[in-house]
Each structure stands twice: as C-alpha cells, then as structure tokens.
Chains A and B, each alone.
Chain A
Amino acid sequence: MPIKTEPVTINLGPQHPSTHGVFRLRVTFDGEMVLDAEPIVGYLHRGTEKLAEERNYVQIVTLTDRLDYVSAMTNNLAYVRTVERLGNIDVPERAKYLRVISAELNRIASHLIATGFLLDELGAFHTPLVYCFREREHILEMFEMLCGARITVSYMRPGGVLQDAPEDFWPRLDDFVKTMPSYIDELEGLITENEIVLARTRDVGIITAEQAIAGSITGPVLRSTGVQWDLRKAEPHEVYDRVDFDIPIGSVGDTYDRYLVRVLEMRQSVRIIKQCVEQIAPGPVRTAGPFVIRPPVGDAYDCTESPKGELGFYIVSDGGISPYRMHIRAPSFINLTLLREMLVGWKIADLVVIFGSIDIVLGEVDR
C-alpha cells in the first residue's frame, strides 16, 4: 500500500541562517520536493527612497552605502554617476581611476562573500567561508586607508571622491594584486573540481537565457546562462574602456555556473586593478563645486554593473537641494523574479543552495 502524502506549506525564515538576512520564503513541499515557493520580503525596509527626498545630494551617499552593504563602493558609484549626469558635473581623471579601483576591490569582496556562503550552504561549514573572509579583510583594510570606514564607506562624492589615497595605500594594493591570483587558485583548487560540489550544483536550478532576459535578470546570474552582457563593456563608464578585461560566461545557467562566473570575475577584477594602477596619474580627485548641489529641473537614469547586477538610480530633480524623487533599480530585488521557476521541482537541500547562488543582499532587496 503506498504511503499517503499531502503538501505542507512552511515558512523558511525570516530568521533562518540560510536566508542571508531577514528573508522569508513560503514554500509548499510534497515530502522533500518543492511544489511552490513565494518570497516574502520587506523586513528590512527603511524607506530609503523616501528618506532621500529629505536629504541633500551629498548626504544621500551615506544612504546608498546601506543598500547592498557588502558592496558599498559600487552603490556609491551608481548614485554619484546619476547625480553627475543630472547636474552635468565633471569628474577628474584620477578620481575615475580611484573609483574603478575601489569598485573592483569591492566586487572581489562581494564575490568572496557569495562564494563563501554558497559553500557554507553546501554543508562545508565555515572553513571555506573563513578562507574567503581572510582575503576580504585585506580589502576592507584598504578601504579603511582610503576613507576611514570598512563597510559603509561613503567614499565617492558627486564630482569625484572624498580624498586621495594615502601613500601607504599603493604598496598595499600592489601586494594584494600580486597575492590575490594565487589565493583564487587555492580557492578554486578546493571547490571548482570538487566532486561533492559538482554533484550538488551541476544542473541544479537551471534557468535559460530567454527566461533570464524576460525576467529582467542581470549580473552574474544572467551571464551564467551564456549571455555576454556586462555594463562595464556595454556602457563603458569611468575608465572601463581603457582597461582590457573579459566577460566570463557560463554555459547552462545552473548553480555551478553562477559560482564559476563569480570566481572568474574576481580574476578579471584583479586584472582591471592592475592596469588602473599602471595608468593612474597624479592630479585632483574632486571637482570644485558648490557645497550644496542644485541640479537643473529634469530626470536622469544611470547605472553601473554592481556585483549583483545592474544597479540603477532614477532621480527626478525639481531644482532644489534634494531629489524630488529617487528610485533605485535594485538588482538583488529584481533577480528574485525567477526564484519560483528556479526552485520548483528541487529538494529542500537544493533550495538552500539555489537561493544562495543568486546572491542577494537584503539591504538592497528591501531598501
């Protein structure tokens, strides 16, 4: 006689170690199989867009740090670029290089976290994660040299960056650029051809390129499906058109490809930083301008390739000292669109891994 089963709906989270923050997933299971999944977000909603309407354009930089809090530099970059487009503000060359260096460092830090936690969720508790955090620590210390803060950096300003890098920053960066590739080799040696990792991630949670594009998915998740799309190439901003780098892509769009694209991107980021260090020349780092920025009436949208995907800001100015409206196109939020498609049909242990491989940060999802 077959055993009678019936679907059970349970909540995963909001306080669950695998949810990367306060995120709730309402899942209907049949035994171990996922039948339906619905993300429930908003636990970290701070009303960033509303808060921005009451702050001036420089103050908002501190709000953007708190969106994707593992990658504050790219958030800063996307925001200040939109303000510069809105107010026609020029940026000195040296500031552009410093921005790219710090953004790429932050991309490495963010991908290290994504990879470390993915391994955590595969059951390799903490050892790989601490390996990743060890390297991330070097990056955070360099941020501390740049601006005094490690996580919420607020390093960029409309019209440049806060301050020039101190003298002892450069030898430290050289050292990092020299040692990082061998570290990535070490990490890859542990993971990339690991039989357990392959068994757990290969062909798990596949999405196709068509699905990803229709679902507005961007970033490593889109590239893992084989679409060679990176805003650093498609819309080369700052100095990305002066450096040589490749866009790593995946082949099937599964969990393993999402991991692999991130690791390969770290290598490319090191390449970009190396070239920036060679090209950077002395000069001013911030355009002199009024203390309070009053952009002309109008609207502007600008975006950068953040570690999670396309991070865009749409700002409407009424000529005042603060935006009339600021909307954030948050990649972590929009990348959740296809979560249900990825999860249905997989088991509960795969659910945790697939969800981890999308790499969301709740600060950005909930804003």
Chain B
Amino acid sequence: MSVSLVGAQVAEKINSKMAGVAIDFNETEVWVEPQNLVRVGKFLRDDEEIDLQMLNSISAVDYVEYFELVYHFRSLRRNSTFVLKARCYGREDLKVPSLVGVWLGADLQEREIWDLMGIKFTDHPNLKRILLWEGFPGHPLRKDFIR
C-alpha cells in the first residue's frame, strides 16, 4: 500500500536545507511560497529519502481571496505520495514559476491551468492556451467567470 509522506517531516527537511521556505504543513501536505516552487521541487526530486520522481497532477483552485496550486507527487521506487501546495494572492497578472524544468510532465498541465484558471507560469517553454482558443475572453474555471 502506498504511504503518504508526513507533512511535518518533509517541512522540517525543506527548512533544514532552505530556512523558512516551508511556511505551513498538516499531516500530508506542505505549503510553500510560489516563488520557491522550483527550489523546493528540485529538492523533493533529488533528495534520496524523499525521491519524488513523478509529478503526478497539478490542480488549481480559486478560493476567491487567493488561488491555490496543488501538486500531487509520487515516488515509484518507494511507493509514496506527497502533496505540495502554494497560494498566490491577487486576481490579475498572476505569475508562478514553471516546474517544466524539473518535471517535464508539468508541460501540458500548466498550459491547462493558464488556459482555464489564468495563472501564468514564467519560464514555461510554450505557454499557450490548450483547450480553448487564443482570444477566448476570460478563464472559465475562475469563480467570477460570467458566461
């Protein structure tokens, strides 16, 4: 049975390498600031004990006061899962560093989030809309999207 990594332990490990980067945690999740995502991602992938080889899924949720990015990771070698979350405040001109350089699997998923949720990923090699066409007004999965 796959185990989910303990949030407190991962947060401690992150903070021992990069002080103050893990800002919050619960049993299975850790929160970081969006600007630290690439640093934390590289650490999670390359650390021998954490060893998260696969970026499983990226979701974005619009909580109106902020957007939350939810990264689900998986280690196939250790059969473990982990959830990383990052909150970005504001509604216009949101920018989050792209994880394509760390996990190629982020490519299409980040394009989908830009398309439907309107969060821009800096350093993404090909950030275009993917499901809707260029010029579509607005980002439909936002809570304030009016049909």
Which A residues contact B (CB, under 8 angstroms)?
41-42, 45, 47, 49-50, 211, 213-217, 227, 229, 234-236, 299, 301, 310, 312, 314, 316, 324-325, 327, 329, 333-334, 336-338, 366-367
5 closest pairs, A vs B, by CB?
A216-B105, A327-B59, A329-B57, A42-B131, A45-B131
Question: What are 6 residue pairs bridging A and B, where the CB atoms are less than 8 Å apart in the complex?
Answer: A214-B54, A229-B76, A235-B2, A314-B57, A325-B62, A327-B70
The answer for the CA separation of A336 and B108 in the assembled complex, in Å, is 8
Instruction: Return the chain A residue nearest B61 by Cβ.
Output: A325
Q: Are A227 and B76 in contact (CB under 8 A)?
A: yes
Select which of B1, B57, B103, B133 is within 8 A of A301 by beta carbon.
B57
- Residues 47-106 (chain B) with a chain A CB within 8 angstroms: 53-57, 59-62, 70, 72, 76, 79, 83, 103-106
Query: Which residues of B (91-147) have their CB < 8 Å from a CB of A?
Result: 103-109, 112, 116, 129-133, 140-141
Given contacts A312-B57, A334-B108, contact A42 B140 (CB under 8 A): no
Give Cα A213–Cα B54 distance, bound, in whole angstroms: 6
- Are the CB atoms of A333 and B57 closer together than 8 Å? no
Q: Which of A234, A316, A327 touches B2 (beta carbons < 8 Å)? A: A234
A234 proximity list for chain B (CB < 8 A): 2, 79
Known pairs A45-B131, A49-B116, A337-B105; A329 contacts B76 (CB<8 A): no
* Residues of B participating in the A interface, judged by any CB pair closer than 8 Å: 1-2, 53-57, 59-62, 70, 72, 76, 79, 83, 103-109, 112, 116, 129-133, 140-141
Contacts of A333 in B (CB 8 A): 108, 112
Q: Is A216 touching B1 in the complex (CB atoms < 8 A)?
A: no
A residues less than 8 Å from B107 (CB atoms): 215, 337
Contact of B140 among A47, A229, A299, A327 (CB under 8 A): A47
A234 vs B1: C-alpha distance when bound (angstroms): 6
Q: Kindly state the separation between the CA atoms of A269 and B72 in the bound complex, as whole angstroms.
A: 28
Q: What 14 new A-B contacts, CB under 8 Å, besides A49-B141, A301-B57, A329-B72?
A: A42-B129, A213-B54, A215-B104, A216-B109, A234-B2, A234-B79, A312-B57, A314-B57, A316-B61, A325-B59, A325-B61, A336-B108, A337-B104, A338-B104
B133 is contacted by which of A42, A314, A329 (Cβ under 8 Å)?
A42
Q: Which of A329, A366, A367: most chain B CB closer than 10 A?
A: A329
Please determine whether A214 and B132 come into contact, CB atoms closer than 8 angstroms.
no
Give Cα distance in the complex from A367 to B131, angstroms: 9
A215–B108 alpha-carbon span in the complex (Å): 10
Do A312 and B56 touch (CB < 8 A)? yes
Bound: A219/B107 CA distance, A: 19
Determine the chain B residues whose CB is within 8 A of the CB of A217 once the complex forms.
Answer: 105
Distance in angstroms between the alpha carbons of A216 and B52 in the assembled complex: 11
CB distance from B55 to the nearest CB of A (A): 6
Q: Kindly identify which residue among A50, A229, A366 contacts B141, using a CB–CB cutoff of 8 Å.
A: A50
CA of A314 to CA of B76 in the docked complex: distance in angstroms? 20
Closest to B109 in A: A334
- Taking CB as reference atom, which chain B residue is nearest A336? B108
Q: Is the CB of B116 within 8 A of A329?
A: no
Q: Are B72 and A216 in contact (CB under 8 A)?
A: no
- With a cutoff of 8 Å between Cβ atoms, the chain B residues found around residue A229 in the complex are 76
Rounded to whole angstroms, the CA-CA distance of A56 and B129 in the bound complex is 29
Residue pair A366, B104 in contact (C-beta under 8 Å): no
Q: Which of A215, A235, A327, A338 has the most CB of B within 10 A?
A: A327
Please tell me if the beta carbons of A334 and B105 are within 8 angstroms of each other in the complex: yes
**A92 → chain B closest CB, angstroms:** 21
Contacts of A334 in B (CB 8 A): 57, 105, 108-109
Are B61 and A324 within 8 A (Cβ)?
yes
User: A216, B56: Cβ atoms under 8 Å?
Assistant: yes
Give the residue name and chain of the A residue nearest to B83 (CB). A301
Choose one: B60, B72, B105; the contact of A215 (CB below 8 Å): B105
Contact A327 B57 (CB under 8 A): yes
Chain B residue contacts of A338, Cβ below 8 A: 104
Q: How far is the CA of A47 from the CA of B33 in the complex (A)?
A: 29
C-alpha gap A92/B80 in the complex (Å): 28
CA of A42 to CA of B115 in the docked complex: distance in angstroms? 11
From known contacts A213-B54, A334-B105, infer whether A314 and B1 are also in contact, taking CB-CB under 8 Å.
no
Question: Among B70, B105, B132, which residue has its beta carbon within 8 angstroms of that of A45?
Answer: B132
Shortest Cβ distance from residue B14 to the other chain A in the assembled complex, whole angstroms: 21
Q: Which residues of B contact A215 (CB under 8 A)?
A: 103-105, 107
Contacts A41-B131, A42-B133, A49-B116; is A216 near B83 (CB within 8 Å)?
A: no
- Give, as a whole number of angstroms, the nearest-CB distance from B5 to chain A: 14
Instruction: Tell me the nearest residue of chain B to A338, going by C-beta.
Output: B104
Distance in angstroms between the alpha carbons of A367 and B109 in the assembled complex: 13
Closest to A228 in B: B76
Residue in A50, A312, A324 whose CB lies within 8 Å of B72? A312
